[in-house]
């Protein structure tokens, strides 16, 4: 609850570089490394959903590859200097995907992987939605529709300080029913904030059903284009495609970038994949074991 | 002790109401509260607007102005904060009969954290003209109050929880909207409380203080925060050495403030306000634990009351409420 | 502040018909009649801006033709039965255009034209933004971004009661920077509310400058189309074009309708037309006289 | 008596501040307050986000978290109601140094009506943890308080008006943030007030009651509503027969509630809360008239105080505050 230490208003620091090396090996993060990392993240997600309160399973799984690619081959960030003013900033606007973010941050070295066991357990700091007490979490989210405006704030901050760092924001597709997303979208393109990159986790499902059945969001890409954003659509589980799109942003000078990441809610777990009830799950021991087997099988 | 979640009691009551009242409409925002619910013939009157809380309030106002009776569904944090301006202008100003059914109030969202807690909602709703503000304490009071709410000609805010909370004692009579309910007689020290865990904590604290400290302790259940029942409060506290409020809300603007306002204007009394501390709650825990961490348990209430009573009794046993002894006789 | 009397939930009443006759003559509202009415409305607007508080001159003048056409040849409404459940409902979402609405309602017979003199004067009921105390005003507006959700509420009410009446909502273009407009737009098309008709007063200006300079709204028509609305663009000062578009809505079954009305802020007064400072004006006696002359000259 | 609009005083002060503090940023929402203003070298730090109040608060939070000091500009109704959830979560929860500069507060928007009035903002801002809530009373106090606000490490809500209002007496010293300012000594009856017209009404009422009724009347200027200066309040009211609050706000949750809370907990005293009545103000008029219509003038305050004092004095001249006479000695 304390403000971030140190003013980020122009001091000269050498920017951290994106992980072009895997944390462990020093080698370039090849597809194998990313795949294994994403699998570990999914495994953590499943583990946390077997904890006392369960968790937002489906949306965390659908985001897992996006988070993996962001934190392991796109973001210029350094767990040892989480407040470095030159860092790229990431905001989980769909804050209910917290367990996916925690798993990613732990794997990336922001805090020990063992701490994931404390998720939703009294005494710990890993709450159901991200809070700033958790190393690597930039802003508390969880109420849908806040991330894009926050991201724009970070993006404008960097520009005012003549820095080249970027702000990345991950939104849910159902989240886009909130007007605040479009309000921020208008302001972002108006400000020409091309250091702002948003990703929509387009899994087609929200809490109670299909987005297109409840309040349609298609034609999604056209919507964003008509709001003067640069838009690309990718397979949200294809690491190379995600990396290519995210790392190369901005694609059009003066325009913020939007990646429509086509995903499957619950990706990796056939028993829930694409199903609306994947949204929140408390896994019994038996279900958890089945889920772990399914993850392993899927990866082979 | 039995237990129920006030939100599921409400849900079931609404399904019935929709059948009985052909003007009742259920407006939803992808909450999931109605997943699998069968509204039967009333199905057309259930509308899921998507994740759109401002729109929810505006649509409800338009429908209420057209003669419908909308029950709008969202979490307390989104009703009282996200959509506040639509509540203020579209609903409250027009005095329209919209029922704002707010779940996940207080810290009932537990480990979901500050974005999902609503410890400001009573202050926010209480300041709005034309608004009736209701805080049921358990399943039975939820049912009883909902039946009365249904008939109101103006807007109503109903504060509901998330998970089951224990019921009030079985012999508790149904509350009457707008009237403070005396749960326990006693005039020396009077507890005023609202919401599931505060009411239970107050009842138990009263018992302890009566048994162990020989005090004559009353308990008032102030389920209707607005309009506030001044008459019962002032009558029941007329001879009290101390009035104590217990609530699941931040300190400013909620039940404690309502009681402070009434007492100061009508019958000044020493007051102890027990509320959630003035900070965001971002430790992990369920509702009960988060409240216990912050002293809202029978033991916490008892201890704070004892300390306050000890402070009130001066060295020679005279009142030392700052200033009272120097009050000039008019 | 009292609720509208009488439930509007299905009682059988014969719907009022649109004014196919002029209130005065009984003849069809020919173009001459509409032109004269619009001129009178503009004159009232100018008069009110010479009152003690001045008024929102530019945006009221840009809306004048839209309001004229709506109230005199499109809306099914009856000043004698302002709460008739079968009426078409109109909401001035850009509530700061109140003086234009008051002028129109008075001309249409909701209250005496002489009452317009009480605008912004203590003791009267004509406030700077519309309130329900004024006959014909359906809902108080003035905070931008409320009208569309309210209109959707009326539209859904009609549909639930199996009525054919429509809800019309007039928005400002700057107003569309508010996210709540887009939130309601999503919900409206999701609900298939084709009895909802929105008009954007596309005068290109907001309070402090050009919309496209502050927070661009183009491509406007594409935006609305991508939100699954049926869209038509018309000259917002061409009565026949407006009437054709408005009267024929819905144009596509199952879709709400959006008219982009291309207007000039301050239309009718060359001295302010198209100028940002037209937004709010307190006219001196001299300026008022000049404005009255200009209106007359323009009409000839 | 001179007059100034607190919002234009703020605007001019901000232009200076932007020059002096290279971390200060001015975020606007098409308010028009800065039309024609020349920020000079600081021009890049003025950003008009369009008509987008939620976005405003989110952007401000992101910038504050990055080390900037944003001054955000909108009307009080849109800061406290439309964008409340962003204020709550993005700004208050994070304790970020955003300065919320809210114009058109109270009924200062006059004939613009209920959508533009903000009679709920103090209740709403006061309930939020980490928030500092400031209500300047004239141009001079605006300048003085802004200088102090600039240094605060956390969020601040500053309540400003629209049109010029009369200045406080020329010899009034500059207020100190967080401390109640004693504008007039007197302990028998104590007025506590905030905001331009209430402070002036209180000062004049005090004069009248002293001159005509021979009362010893004090006036406290409570410009900082949160954190509240309990010590000065309780000290200054220790011997008071009556405490009176005067404010431009609805009755629940504002200054009157803050004082009621403090008094009831620390030093119970008879209290009269003078506030705008609990209804939307939709009669036509300017700020002064709308307040006068609702009794917030020197005469109105004087009359209500006389009536209250008469009620307090019992038949035999003893206190008849309900219950006081029956208070059991502990
Ligand atoms: C403002 C707000 N309204 C409602 C909710 C409750 N809620 C949490 S997740 C969710 C569904 C979100 O759907 P989507 O954005 O598609 O997420 P995903 O499918 O990726 O899980 C809802 C309604 C919320 N967190 N915030
Ligand atoms: C929520 C809200 N924010 C700000 C304002 C202040 N305001 C009144 S009119 C206006 C400009 C509106 O521009 P536009 O919608 O284009 O109206 P028009 O040009 O038709 O007058 C603004 C910012 C308001 N009334 N409501
Ligand atoms: Mg989804
Ligand atoms: Mg415009």
Tell me how far the alpha carbon of residue C227 is from its chain's centroid. 22
- Pair B197, B168: CB distance under 8 Å: no
Share of chain B above pLDDT 70, in %: 95
pLDDT at C300: 53
Whole-number Å distance, alpha carbon D77 to ligand 2 midpoint, is 14
Is the CB of residue D239 less than 8 Å away from at least one CB of chain B? Answer: yes
The yes-or-no verdict on residue C15 having pLDDT over 50 is no
pLDDT in tens, C245-285: 999 999 999 999 999 999 999 999 999 999 999 999 999 99
Q: Which two tokens stand for residue C217?
A: 């709204």
Is pLDDT at B186 greater than 60 in this prediction?
A: yes
Chain C residues close to A219, C-beta within 8 Å:
226
Whether C215 and A186 lie within 8 Å, measured CB to CB: yes
Residues of chain C in contact with residue D35, where contact means CB-CB under 8 angstroms, are: 208
The size of chain B, in residues, is 330
pLDDT tens digits, residue range D173-224?
Answer: 999 999 999 999 999 999 999 999 999 999 999 999 999 999 999 999 999 9
Which element (helix H / strand E) includes A30? Answer: none
* A184 contacts C179? CB cut-off 8 A: yes
DSSP 3-state assignment of D13? helix
pLDDT band at B1; cut points 50, 70, 90: low
Task: Work out the average pLDDT over A106-134.
Answer: 97
Min Cα distance B56 → chain A (Å) is: 11
ipTM of the predicted structure?
0.95
Give the mutation candidate from A146, A176, A215, A218 for the C interface (greatest C CB count, under 10 A).
A215
Q: Which of C128, C144, C145 sits opposite D112 (nearest CB)?
A: C128
Which residue from D84, D266, D268 is facing B84, i.e. has the nearest CB? D84
- Which helix (H) or strand (E) segment holds residue D145: the answer is helix D139-149
**Cα distances (Å, whole numbers) of residue B12 to B25, B47, B150, C25, C293:** 14, 17, 14, 58, 67
Average model confidence (pLDDT) for chain D?
A: 94
Least distant ligand from the CA of D51: 2
Which residue, by CA, sits nearest to atom 16 of ligand 1?
A174
Residue closest to B291 by CA, chosen among B157, B172, B193: B193
Pocket of ligand 2 (CB under 6 A): C 58-59, 62, 94, 96, 142-145, 172-175, 201, 203, 205-207, 265, 279; D 30, 51, 78, 82
The ligand 2 atom nearest the CA atom of C211: 16
Cβ atoms of residues A63 and A94 within 8 Å: yes
CB contact under 8 A, C177 and A183: yes
CA D122/CA D118 separation, integer angstroms? 9
Question: What pTM value is reported for the model?
Answer: 0.95
Report how far residue D236's alpha carbon sits from residue D243's, in angstroms, rounded to the nearest whole number.
10
Q: Is C152 on the interface with B (CB under 8 A)?
A: yes
Say if residue A149's pLDDT is above 70.
Answer: yes
Contact A179 C183 (CB under 8 A): yes
Q: What is the DSSP letter of A183?
A: H
Percent of chain D past pLDDT 90, that is, above it, reads 93
- Rounded to the nearest angstrom, the distance between the alpha carbon of B91 and the centre of ligand 4 is 27
Determine whether the shortest distance from the Cβ of A205 to ligand 1 is under 6 A: yes
Give the model's pLDDT for residue A30: 86
Beta strands in chain B (DSSP E): 3-4, 24-28, 46-48, 69-75, 99-103, 132-134, 156-159, 165-166, 181-184, 189-193, 217-221, 224-226, 242-246, 271-274
Residues 6+ apart with CB under 8 A from B231: none
Contact state of B284 with A95 under an 8 Å Cβ cutoff: no
Residue A291 has pLDDT above 70, yes or no: yes
Q: Which chains touch C (3 or more CB pairs under 8 A)?
A: A, B, D
Q: pLDDT for C105-120, tens place per residue?
A: 999 999 999 999 999 9
Does C25 lie at the interface with B, CB-CB under 8 angstroms? no
Burial group, residue A5, by CB count within 10 angstroms (0-12, 13-18, 19+): exposed
From A148, A174, A200, A213, mutation site for ligand 1 pocket: most ligand atoms within 8 A of C-beta: A174
What pLDDT sits at residue C298? 85
Q: Average of pLDDT values for D149-172?
A: 97
The Å distance, Cα C48 to ligand 2 centre, comes to: 19
Q: Is A176 in the pocket of ligand 1 (CB under 6 A)?
A: no
Q: Is B80 exposed, middle or buried (0-12, 13-18, 19+ CB in 10 A)?
A: buried
Find the closest chain A residue to C185 by CA distance.
A179
For the record, the structure tokens of A185 come out as 């979208």
CB of A203 closer than 6 A to ligand 1? yes
Ligand 3 centroid to B228 CA: how many Å? 43
**pLDDT above 70: percentage of residues in chain D:** 95
D116 and C178 within 8 Å at the Cβ level: the answer is: no
Contacting residues of D for B261, CB less than 8 Å apart: 251-252, 256-257, 260, 273
Given a cut of 50, is residue D318 above it in pLDDT? no
Nearest to B115 among A1, A118, A142 (CB): A142
- Tell me the nearest-neighbour CA distance from A256 into chain C, angstroms: 14
CA distances in angstroms from B66 to B42, B70, B156, C4, C60, listed in the order given: 18, 11, 18, 7, 28
Comparing A51-65, A278-292, C73-87, D310-324, which segment has the lowest mean pLDDT? D310-324
- Using the Cβ of A186 and the Cβ atoms of chain C, whether some distance falls under 8 Å is answered with yes
- pLDDT-derived band at A298 (thresholds 50, 70, 90) equals confident
Question: Smallest Cβ distance to B115: which of A140, A175, A208?
Answer: A140
B/e letters for A258-291, b = 16+ CB within 10 Å, e = fewer, are bbbbbbbbbbbbeebbeebebbbbebeeebbeeb
The reply to whether omega before C250 is within 30° of 0 (cis) is: yes
Point out the residue among A190, A216, A222 whose CB comes nearest to the CB of C216. Answer: A190
Does residue D315 carry a pLDDT above 70?
A: no
Taking CA atoms, what residue in B is nearest to C9? B67
Q: Does ligand 1 lie within 6 Å of residue A266's CB atom? A: no
Half-sphere exposure of A56 (CA within 13 A, CB side): 26
The tens digit of pLDDT for each residue in B193-210 reads 999 999 999 999 999 999
Cβ pairs bridging B and C (under 8 Å): 121
Task: Output the pLDDT for position D313.
Answer: 79
Q: What H or E segment, with its residue span, contains residue D144? A: helix D139-149
For ligand 2, atom 10: residue with the closest CA? C207
Query: Nearest C-alpha of chain B: how many angstroms from C2?
Result: 6
- One DSSP character per residue, A92-132 reads ESSGGGHHHHHHHHHHHTSS-GGGGGGTT-TT-S--SS--T
The ligand 1 atom nearest the CA atom of A59: 21
Tens digits of residue pLDDT in B70-112: 999 999 999 999 999 999 999 999 999 999 999 999 999 999 9
Measured between beta carbons, which residues in chain B are less than 8 angstroms from residue A207? Answer: 30-32, 51
Q: Which of residues 63-82 of B touch A (CB under 8 A)?
A: 77-78, 82
CA distance C148 to B54: 11
Token pair for residue C55?
Answer: 């008024």
The continuous run of DSSP H or E covering D208 comes out as helix D196-213
Q: Which of B42, B46, B62 to mutate to test the interface with C (most CBs of C within 10 A)?
A: B62
Helix/strand/coil for B183: strand
Ligand 1 lined by A267 (C-beta under 6 Å)? no
Residue B323 predicted with pLDDT over 70: no
How confident is the model over D13-67, as pLDDT tens digits? Answer: 999 999 999 999 999 999 999 999 999 999 999 999 999 999 999 999 999 999 9
pLDDT tens across A20-43, in order?
Answer: 444 444 445 789 999 999 999 999
Whether residue A14 is predicted with pLDDT greater than 90 in this model: the reply is no
Task: Look up residue C117 and give its two tokens.
Answer: 């003199």
* Contacts B118 to A, Cβ<8 Å: none
Cβ within 8 Å, pair B49-C190: yes
Query: pLDDT-based confidence at C157, cuts 50/70/90?
Result: very high
Tell me if A265 CB under 6 Å of ligand 1: yes
Residues surrounding ion ligand 3 at CB below 5 Å: A 172-174, 203, 205
Quick one: DSSP state of residue A71?
A: I
DSSP state of D283: S
Nearest CA residue ID for atom 13, ligand 2: C206
């Amino acid at each position: 609850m304390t403000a971030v230490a140190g003013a980020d208003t122009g001091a000269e620091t050498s920017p951290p570089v994106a992980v072009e090396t895997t944390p462990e090996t020093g080698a370039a993060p090849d597809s194998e490394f990313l795949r294994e990392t994403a699998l570990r993240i999914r495994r953590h997600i499943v583990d946390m959903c077997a904890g006392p309160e369960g968790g937002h399973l489906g949306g965390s799984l659908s985001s897992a590859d996006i988070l993996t690619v962001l934190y392991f081959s796109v973001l210029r960030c350094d767990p040892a200097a989480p407040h470095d003013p030159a860092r790229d900033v990431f905001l989980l606007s769909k804050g209910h995907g917290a367990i996916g973010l925690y798993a990613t941050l732990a794997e990336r070295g922001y805090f020990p992987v063992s701490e994931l066991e404390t998720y939703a357990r009294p005494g710990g700091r890993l709450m159901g939605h991200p809070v700033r007490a958790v190393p690597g979490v930039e802003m508390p989210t969880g109420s849908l529709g806040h991330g894009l405006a926050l991201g724009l704030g970070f993006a404008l901050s960097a520009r005012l300080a003549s820095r080249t760092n970027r702000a990345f924001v991950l939104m849910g597709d159902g989240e886009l029913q909130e007007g605040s997303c479009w309000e921020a979208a208008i302001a972002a393109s108006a400000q020409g904030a091309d250091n702002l990159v948003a990703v929509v986790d387009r899994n087609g499902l929200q809490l109670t059903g299909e987005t297109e059945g409840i309040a349609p969001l298609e034609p999604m890409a056209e919507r964003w284009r008509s709001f003067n954003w640069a838009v690309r659509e990718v397979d949200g589980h294809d690491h190379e495609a995600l990396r290519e799109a995210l790392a190369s942003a901005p694609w059009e000078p003066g325009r913020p970038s939007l990646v429509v990441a086509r995903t499957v809610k619950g990706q990796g777990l056939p028993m829930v994949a694409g199903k609306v009830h994947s949204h929140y799950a408390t896994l019994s021991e038996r279900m958890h074991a089945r889920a772990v087997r399914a993850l392993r099988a899927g990866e082979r | 002790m039995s237990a129920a979640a006030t939100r599921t009691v409400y849900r079931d009551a609404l399904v019935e109401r929709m059948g009985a009242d052909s003007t009742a409409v259920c407006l939803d925002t992808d909450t999931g509260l109605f997943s699998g619910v069968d509204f039967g013939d009333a199905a057309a009157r259930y509308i899921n607007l998507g994740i759109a809380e401002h729109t929810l309030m505006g649509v409800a106002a338009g429908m209420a102005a057209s003669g419908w009776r909308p029950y709008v569904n969202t979490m307390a944090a989104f009703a009282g904060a996200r959509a506040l301006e639509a509540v203020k202008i579209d609903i409250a100003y027009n005095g329209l009969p919209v029922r704002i059914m707010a779940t996940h109030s207080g810290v009932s969202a537990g480990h979901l954290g500050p974005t999902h807690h609503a410890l400001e909602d009573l202050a926010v709703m209480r300041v709005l003209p034309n608004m009736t503000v209701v805080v049921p304490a358990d399943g039975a009071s939820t049912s009883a109050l909902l039946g009365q709410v249904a008939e109101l000609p103006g807007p109503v805010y109903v504060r509901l929880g998330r998970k089951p909370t224990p019921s009030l004692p079985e012999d508790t009579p149904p509350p009457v909207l707008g009237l403070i309910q005396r749960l326990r007689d006693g005039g020396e020290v009077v507890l005023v409380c609202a919401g599931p865990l505060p009411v239970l904590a107050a009842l138990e604290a009263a018992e302890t203080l009566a048994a162990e400290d020989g005090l004559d302790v009353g308990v008032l259940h102030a389920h209707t925060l607005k309009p506030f029942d001044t008459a019962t409060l002032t009558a029941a506290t007329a001879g009290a050495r101390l009035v104590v409020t217990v609530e699941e809300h931040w300190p400013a603007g909620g039940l404690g403030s309502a009681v402070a306002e009434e007492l100061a204007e009508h019958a000044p009394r020493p007051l102890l306000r027990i509320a959630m501390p003035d900070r965001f709650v971002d430790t992990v825990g369920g509702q009960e634990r988060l409240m216990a961490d912050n002293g809202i348990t029978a033991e916490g209430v008892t201890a704070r009351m004892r300390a306050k009573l000890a402070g009130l009794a001066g060295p020679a046993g005279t009142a030392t409420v700052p200033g009272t002894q120097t009050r000039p006789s008019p």
